[in-house]
Amino acid sequence: MKEKDTLGIIKQALDDEISSLVYFRENLDPSVKNCIDLILNSKGKVIVTGVGKSGDIAKKISHTLSSTGTSAYFLHPTDASHGDSGIVGPDDVVLAIGKSGESEELNYILPTLRKIGAKIVGITANSKSKLAELSDVVIITPVLKEACPLDLAPTSSTTIALVLGDAIAVALMELKEFKADDFALYHPAGRLGKRLSLYLSDVMRKGERNASIPVNANLEVILKEITEKGIGATGVVDENFKLVGLITDFDIRKYLTKHTLSPSVTAKEMMNPNPNHYLPNEKAYDVLINMEGRERPISVAPVVDENGIFVGMISLHDLLQKGL
């Protein structure tokens, strides 16, 4: 048996899919704009449906739309035939995906969805198909060649449908002026969501966990506060609780290199009077980058409000623990 070039086969499959994508882009059906207009003008949601491999693509498209500001759901045609079509409303837009456009399960439910009042957008490579006939808007997705050597298994065709779905989602994002803060609202748990949605006020040590001492505190009070709060530093405040300085382990060691340590030394003598500080409404990830990216990185910093009131302390360790 002749040895085959595995990498060559993979590269050919990639080339076939890339060339099909380029062909699709160069022959992009202008009806995609009608699809976008339907969704933008709709007061309902987007229902994405398909069977087999097209169904898998439909699921992904629905998830992408939902996470980027367009309410969308995946509806399996078989489930729709057994009651789940009740999820569809008269103001909805249905994206029905099928390369041949002749899948019986898919086409069977479309007349019912139209009777409900939903608009149908058919996404198919076959302009003369039953799917095209049953659709209010038809987007033709020509396939130059499936990557399958038999030109049978859905490969290039499913890639084209997936990319088209992504492009529709991106267009809707831009036209709706969907912002990073909106994205964070829908992605609160993952690392990306945390970077977009976590603020210092969510992460900083505050209240009883916040280390603070008066400006006239002696050495015993300083060391006790730093030790008990376990953050390696303490803020120094005046009688109005405004921040006037910061004492870290480093500041104590620095003081010792120039002075003899005396129990009567005060916080004012030992503190850094101009510490780097942040505001509670700053994004935690931005502060993490700033703390690490300085010429001399810092591991702890005070947080003050717009009036200079000391409201919390943030540490590099706390930020990293949040998975940023």
Residues 6+ away with beta carbon under 8 Å from 235: 210, 211, 212, 213, 243, 245, 246, 302, 310, 313
CA 107 to chain centre: 35
Q: Which residues of 72-103 are buried (b: 16+ CB within 10 A; e: fewer)?
A: bbbbbbeebeeeebeebeeebbbbbbbbebeb
Q: Are 242 and 263 in contact (CB under 8 A)?
A: no
Secondary structure of the chain: what % helix, strand, coil (to 5)?
Answer: 50, 15, 35
Q: Which residues does the annotation place in the binding site?
A: 76
SS3 7: helix
Q: Are 17 and 155 in contact (CB under 8 A)?
A: yes
Q: Which residues does the annotation place in the binding site for Zn(2+)?
A: 76
State which amino acid sits at residue 44.
Answer: G
Q: Are 22 and 152 in contact (CB under 8 A)?
A: no
Q: CA angle 243-245-249, nearest 5°?
A: 130
Closest among 89, 156, 148, 158 to 123, alpha carbons compared: 158
Place of tokens 């540490």: 315
Q: Do β-strands 212-214 and 233-237 pair in parallel, antiparallel, or remain unpaired? A: parallel
Give one DSSP letter per residue of 212-249, joined into a string: EEETT-BHHHHHHHHHHHTSSEEEEE-TT-BEEEEEEH
